[in-house]
Structure 1
């Protein structure tokens, strides 16, 4: 399930891409499939072990174009172990809402992005996130959880203040917001609740089959209740 639109953030052979806060690696895998060199960067070493194993499996199955490489690096987004201007593209998906000093993380992102390079920044959308916070205290007080709710204007202003040129934006995952509202209402850890379980099965079916009906429904829901907002930026040359 990709949040970033790779038509707006083109990557391919010859590009070096940082997936900042890579988590389980969903965007890193897509970057590698497109033939770019990708670094999956995260604080969670255990998750990155799984990403590295998937990189190896993709290579074994012939899913990695010749010359493309995937590597994992454990570290802190506030002090990344990369030289200035190391990357042609940066993806920071659902990361900044976890970091107390988000602007320090943005400045570090700018530092490692080359002049003229592009980045995609995604965070939870204001309205769906605000509803989740209202429904459940556990949703946003768990260790390592979300510590702020962004408005689109605030996110764009902070990115501009860090020296980035802000471009287009869009919302994603409109079908997922109701699932999280259900989870927050019945208990964020209550995966066995019949309603939460049924909706989760619907989402899995949609991800696997991608039928036209749900694709159309999500495209209509995204501007209204898309779970994530994605902003595309450029570092001035």
Structure 2
């Protein structure tokens, strides 16, 4: 389940990508399949071990081109261990809402982005997220949980204030918003609840089969109920260029 539009990012052979806060690697794997040179970056060693295994499995199954490169790197998003302008594409999907010092993280994302490169940032959308917070403290008030709810305009300004240009926004995963509302209502860890289990089966079926009816429904509902908002930015190719 991808939140970022890889066609918009033009990820392909020879493109250097870092997926900051990669988690279980969904965006890193897609970049690797498309032939990019990928860094899956996260602070969680267990997740990164699984990501590394999956990179190997993709290579063995020939699901990634031979020329593509992929590595899993552990570290801190507030101090990325890379030089300025090292990456053509920087992805930060569903991480900034976890970071108390989000402006430091944003500065690092932009620092390692090459002039002319593209930054993609996704966070939970304000309204669906606000409903989750109202329904359940457990949803967000835990170690490593969500520390803020963004309005898209607020996040956009925080990023463009760092000297990049806003390009596009989109919403995604409308079918997932009611699922999380349901989980928050019955207990976020209560996966065995009949309604939660039934909705989860629906989502898995949708992801595996991608039937036209749910694709059309989600496309229609994303502007209203999309669980995530994706923001895309470009870094000026010439230092000091007008945005």
Question: Structure 1 length normalisation: TM-score?
Answer: 0.99
Matches within 5 A, 1:198-213: 198-213=198-213
RMSD across aligned C-alpha pairs, in angstroms?
0.6
Displacement of 1:163 after TM fit? 1.4
Say whether residues 1:156 and 2:150 are aligned partners.
Answer: no
Q: Is the 8 A contact 1:124 1:228 kept in 2?
A: yes
Q: Is the 8 A contact 1:103 1:162 kept in 2?
A: no
How far, CA to CA, are the matches of 2:179 and 2:79 in structure 1?
Answer: 35
Tell me the equivalent position of 1:37. 37
**Number of residue pairs the alignment of both structures matches:** 237
How far, CA to CA, are the matches of 1:158 and 1:137 in structure 2?
Answer: 27
Tell me the equivalent position of 1:53. 53
Displacement of 1:66 after TM fit? 2.2
Tell me the equivalent position of 2:94. 94
Deviation per residue, 1:68-127 (Å, 9 max, x gap): 011010000000111111100011000100000111100001110111110110000000
How far, CA to CA, are the matches of 1:174 and 1:152 in structure 2?
Answer: 16
Displacement of 1:212 after TM fit? 0.4
How far, CA to CA, are the matches of 1:8 and 1:36 in structure 2?
Answer: 15
Deviation per residue, 1:114-154 (Å, 9 max, x gap): 11110110000000000000000111101101000000110
Displacement of 1:196 after TM fit? 0.5
Say whether residues 1:132 and 2:132 are aligned partners.
Answer: yes
Q: Is the 8 A contact 2:93 2:120 kept in 1?
A: yes
Tell me the equivalent position of 1:166. 166
Secondary structure of 1:19's aligned partner: strand
Unpaired runs of 5+ in structure 2? 238-243
How far, CA to CA, are the matches of 1:88 and 1:8 in structure 2?
Answer: 13
Say whether residues 1:196 and 2:196 are aligned partners.
Answer: yes
Q: Is the 8 A contact 1:16 1:89 kept in 2?
A: yes
Tell me the equivalent position of 2:241. none
Question: Structure 2 length normalisation: TM-score?
Answer: 0.97
Q: Is the 8 A contact 1:172 1:229 kept in 2?
A: yes
Displacement of 1:204 after TM fit? 0.3
Q: Is the 8 A contact 2:110 2:119 kept in 1?
A: no
Unpaired runs of 5+ in structure 1? none
How far, CA to CA, are the matches of 1:234 and 1:191 in structure 2?
Answer: 40
How far, CA to CA, are the matches of 1:70 and 1:131 in structure 2?
Answer: 38
How far, CA to CA, are the matches of 2:225 and 2:148 in structure 1?
Answer: 18
Tell me the equivalent position of 2:177. 177
Tell me the equivalent position of 1:227. 227
Secondary structure of 2:62's aligned partner: coil
How far, CA to CA, are the matches of 1:162 and 1:105 in structure 2?
Answer: 12
> Runs of 4+ in structure 1 displaced over 6 angstroms?
none
How far, CA to CA, are the matches of 1:222 and 1:145 in structure 2?
Answer: 24
How far, CA to CA, are the matches of 1:75 and 1:101 in structure 2?
Answer: 16
